[in-house]
Amino acid sequence: MRTALAAFCTAILAGTTVVPAAAQSSQSAYQRAFADRVANPGNTSALSTFINVAVEAGQYDQALSTIEQHLINYPLDAKAHLVAARLYNHVGSYDLSARHLEFALEIGTLEERDRRAAERLLRTVERAIAGISGYLDLTAGVRSESIDFAPTAPWADRTDINGFLLATGQLRFDLDTSTNNAIVLSGKIGTRRRFGDFNFDGVGGVYTAPHGTLAATLDIGLPTEMLPTLRGQLTVYGSHETFDAGLYRRIYGVMARLTALPTADSFVYVEAGYGWLGESAAPLLEDNRVSFEAGATYRIVGSHTIGIAGRGQIDYLNGFGRVGHLYEVELSYAGQVHAFTDGPVWTQQAGLAYGDVQVPNIVLGPAFPYVGDYWLTYWTHSLQIDENNRIDLDLTYRETTYSNLPIRNQSKFDVSLSYTVSLH
C-alpha cells in the first residue's frame, strides 16, 4: 500500500506539471492557432481549433468576434453556425444561439452527427428562452476499494470490486428578473456496494448502500457596488444514506450560500447549514448537525485553476451536547489536459486535504468519542466525448489515524471508472 501511495502521489505531481508548462506555452499555442486560421480562412477545422484555444485562454470576446467575422465571409458554413451557437449558449445569449442553430439546420449541409447535436442544443436553448433549463445525468461504473487495516485489527485487509449506479438531475425555472433570479429543483439517487464497520461494533462487511438527495433552491442576485456579481442561494433539502444493515442516516436541512466573482479570474463562496437527523436509524448518536464551508478559486492561465477550501461539521445529541465533528482544509487544481479538434475534451482535477475528526462511540456512549485525523489525496480525469457522453476515472487515497483507538487505523485506496450519459 505504501508503494502504491508513492506511485500515486508521483503520478499526481507528474500530471499537474502541465500547469507551468501551459503557462509558458499558452500564448504560443494561441498564436499558432491564429496563424493557422489566417492561412486557411475557409477551413472550419482551423477555425474550430482557434476557437477552442481562445476559449481555453478565456478569450470569449475574441472567439465570438472571430466566428462572426468568418460567417460574414462564409455565411453558408453550417458547421461554423453550430460553433457560434455553442459559444453563445455558453455565455447565456440564448436568442443568438437559437438563431445560429436554425441557420445551420436550414442550410442542410451538416453531417448526421452534427445535425443531431444541433437539434439537441436547439431544444435546450428553446427551453432556456422559455425560462426552463435542466439536465439528467445517468451514470454506471465500477469501483475498486482496497483497505489496509492496522496490524492488530480483528479482520483481514481486503479489496472489493463492485458496480454502482447514479442518476443526478436539475430543473431551473427563470423568474424573469434583471438579476437572473431562479428556482432550482435538483436531486440524485444511486446505489453502491462497499465495505465498512460503520457502527464501530467490531464486525465489518460488504453492504448495498442506496443513497439520495432532493433539494429546492432560491437563487437570487444580490449585487452591491463593491461586488456586482454577488449571488445568494437558500436551499432546503432532504437526504438519505444507508451505511449498514439496518443503519442509515436521514437528514432534513437548510443551507445558505453566498458566491461572488471579484475578478474575471476568481470565484469565492461561503456557506452555512443546519440539518436535523432525528429520523436516522439507531445506533447513530447524533440528532442535529451544523455545517459550514468557505473557499476560493483562481484561474492562473487558460482553463487552469487552483483553489483552497475549508469546511466542517459539528454533530450534537439532544440531552448531551456535542458528540462529534469534522474539520477539513483542501488545496486543489483543475485544468484542461487536451482538446481534440472537433472532438473530446480531456480535463483533470487533483487535490490534497487534511482533516480532524471526532466520531461518536456507539459501544461506550457519547462521553468516550474516537478522536483522530486523516489526510487524503485525489486525482480525477474526465473525457467529455461530446455534449452527451463522458468517461470519468477517479483515484483517491486516504489514511486515517485514531489517537485513542489504534486498532481502527486504516489506509484506503479507491479507483472508479464510470460512463455518463447526459440528457438535456
Q: Digits of tens for pLDDT over the chain (424 positions)? A: 544 455 455 455 445 544 444 444 444 565 666 666 666 666 666 677 777 766 666 667 777 888 888 888 888 888 888 888 888 887 778 888 999 999 889 888 888 888 888 888 888 888 888 888 888 999 999 999 888 877 765 556 778 888 999 999 999 998 988 888 999 999 999 998 776 665 555 556 667 788 999 999 999 999 888 888 999 999 999 999 887 667 788 999 999 999 999 987 899 999 999 999 888 876 667 889 999 999 999 988 777 899 999 999 999 988 788 888 999 999 999 988 887 766 688 999 999 999 999 987 766 677 778 899 999 999 999 998 887 899 999 999 999 998 887 777 889 999 999 999 998 7
Largest CA distance in the chain: 78
Amino acid at 30: Y
Q: Which three cell numbers stand for residue 275?
A: 440539518
Instruction: Please write down the long-range contacts of 304-311, taking CB distance under 8 Å and 24 or more positions apart.
Output: 304/18, 304/19, 304/22, 304/23, 304/333, 304/334, 304/335, 304/336, 305/333, 305/334, 305/335, 306/331, 306/332, 306/333, 307/331, 307/332, 307/333, 307/334, 308/332
Which residues, in sequence order, are CB contacts of 281 under 8 Å at separation 6+?
A: 246, 247, 248, 249, 250
| Predicted local distance difference test score (pLDDT) of residue 366 | 73
The span from the CA of 24 to the CA of 2, in Å, is: 34
| Predicted local distance difference test score (pLDDT) of residue 311 | 98
What DSSP string runs through 64-123?
HHHHHHHHHH-TT-HHHHHHHHHHHHHTT-HHHHHHHHHHHHHH----HHHHHHHHHHHH
| Predicted local distance difference test score (pLDDT) of residue 207 | 73
Which residues, in sequence order, are CB contacts of 148 under 8 Å at separation 6+?
A: 1, 157, 410, 411, 412
| Predicted local distance difference test score (pLDDT) of residue 368 | 78
Give the pTM.
0.76
| Predicted local distance difference test score (pLDDT) of residue 67 | 81
Q: Would you mind telling me the total number of residues written for the chain in this entry? A: 424
Which residues, in sequence order, are CB contacts of 404 under 8 Å at separation 6+?
A: 370, 371
Specify whether the CB–CB gap between 219 and 182 falls below 8 A: yes
